[in-house]
Amino acid sequence: MLKDKKILLGVCGSIAAYKAAFLTRLLVKTGANVKIIMTPDAVNFITPLTLSTLSKNPVLISYFDPETGEWNNHVDLALWADVFLIAPASANTIAKMANGLCDNLLSAIYLSAKCPVFIAPAMDLDMWKHGSTRQNIQKLATYGNSVINPGDGELASGLTGEGRMAEPEDIINLLLSHFNQKLPLQGKKCIVTAGPTYEAIDPVRFIGNHSSGKMGFAIADELARLGANVRLITGPTSLKSNNNINRIDVVSCDDMLKEVDRYFHESDVTVMSAAVADYKPLKKSSQKIKKNDALFNLELVKTTDILAHIGQKKSAEQILVGFALETDHEVENAVTKLKRKNLDFIVLNSLQDEGAGFKGDCNKITIIDQYLNTQAFPLKPKAEVAKDICQKIIDLII
């Protein structure tokens, strides 16, 4: 189950760092692809050369190499990983993680991680039992991290008790259980569209909109986290997707229509969250249009309504979700769209809601299903909104 899994291993300053060598060797033997991040203190306990040799990848310690100036991009590293495992995790690093401190590469990756995070503490008995450590461990658990409790035995200080880092074999078994668990959308094929489309006027100018793609990307991430095989078809955006998502970049409505059409027949769930342009220029100029006249008329034609197009093709077994961004008569317009486009449910959001809508990190939605059952949600971060939408999908599948 670990074959080809991408494991990011964080190693902190602890005498238990020697176990990272055994852990790395076991991970590689199971077929995992292992990249290692060390804190500056960790190199006092085990050499980067040892871990680099065992992992067959360079070991990273700093944000950048002072000799070459090459930057180690913490965001890319966080997106690369299927799991971020910190073993050993020192009391110092645990405190930083619990309180959002970010003074080294490992802590920066942790704050950027969207994948599951596993923490294997290692420290002396009194440090492990100290009230501040206990509070930090509880905080990390509330953030959704998995804490691998330390073992009981002889410690480096000579004391005996809790604080020993879990054995590498036990950690491997825990990761196996994690990847082997039955996720609610395991094996389901999903399409998510995101972002705007750009409809060219000439080689320089286009018709577009303010969609950032954040909502669609959050939905794609959540579907993948729930076990789905996700194909993300996105218009132009600066956002980065997780490596375990099959991303297809498009520009225009016609481009997006082509890709959706290509894969829709095999999709179990399709979530159309892209803000597709309703109109495009009747003619695209092959040369840049010069700014000569005070008035400029642009003749437009309707683009293909992708959602209505696939709604006509939808089988009873497929789930199709649409979005409605409205400014007036919101529920009435959303219900009309729901029925006309043969949707299982529609996600209504309003430009009238402060803090919601395009470009922002939050959204406020109302879900209306085909039976006109309505469920309204308060303003939330888009990652949390994505969970609400995906839970509705799970409810329909179950």
Tens-digit pLDDT profile for residues 332-350: 999 999 999 999 999 999 8
Q: Is 244 a catalytic site residue?
A: no
The residue from 209, 243, 244, 342 that is catalytic is: 209
- 99 compared with 156, residue with greater pLDDT: 99
Q: Is 189's pLDDT higher than 80?
A: yes
Per the prediction, the chain carries an average pLDDT of: 92
Structural domain boundaries in the chain? 6-180, 189-280+299-397
**Residue 243: per-residue pLDDT:** 62
Provide the percentage of residues in the chain whose pLDDT is more than 70: 98
Distance between CA 99 and CA 185 in Å, rounded?
A: 33
Mean pLDDT of 126-138: 94
Q: How confident is the model at residue 1 (pLDDT cuts 50, 70, 90)?
A: low
- 155 compared with 12, residue with greater pLDDT: 12
Q: pLDDT, tens digit, for every residue of 43-69?
A: 999 999 999 999 999 999 998 877 777
Helix (H) or strand (E) holding 215: helix 214-225
Distance between CA 106 and CA 20 in Å, rounded?
A: 15
The phi and psi torsions of 329 (rounded to 5 degrees) equal: 45, 50
- Closest CA relative to residue 8, chosen from 30, 35, 33: 35
Confidence (pTM): 0.66
Mean pLDDT of 299-308: 96
Q: How confident is the model at residue 356 (pLDDT cuts 50, 70, 90)?
A: low
Residue 340 near residue 307, CB atoms below 8 Å: no
Fold match flag (6-180 vs 189-280+299-397): yes
Instruction: Using DSSP bridges, classify how beta strands 380-381 and 362-363 pair: parallel, antiparallel or unpaired.
Output: antiparallel
Mean pLDDT of 29-45: 96
Q: Is 242's pLDDT higher than 90?
A: no
Q: How confident is the model at residue 16 (pLDDT cuts 50, 70, 90)?
A: very high
6-180 has which CATH code? 3.40.50.1950
Mean pLDDT of 261-290: 95
SS3 annotation, 2-66: CCCCEEEEEECCCHHHHHHHHHHHHHHHCCCEEEEEECHHHHHCCCHHHHHHHHCCCEECCCECC
The phi and psi torsions of 159 (rounded to 5 degrees) equal: -75, 165
Question: What tokens were used for 344?
Answer: 């299982």
What is each CA distance from 59 to 51, 53, 157, 201, 244, in whole angstroms?
A: 7, 9, 29, 48, 22
Pick the CATH number of 189-280+299-397 from 3.40.50.300, 3.40.50.10300, 3.40.50.10190, 3.40.50.1780: 3.40.50.10300
Residue 194 near residue 213, CB atoms below 8 Å: yes
Mean pLDDT of 68-74: 84
Mean pLDDT of 137-153: 91
Question: What tokens were used for 272?
Answer: 């159309």
**Residue 237: per-residue pLDDT:** 94
First vs last Cα of the chain: how many Å apart? 26
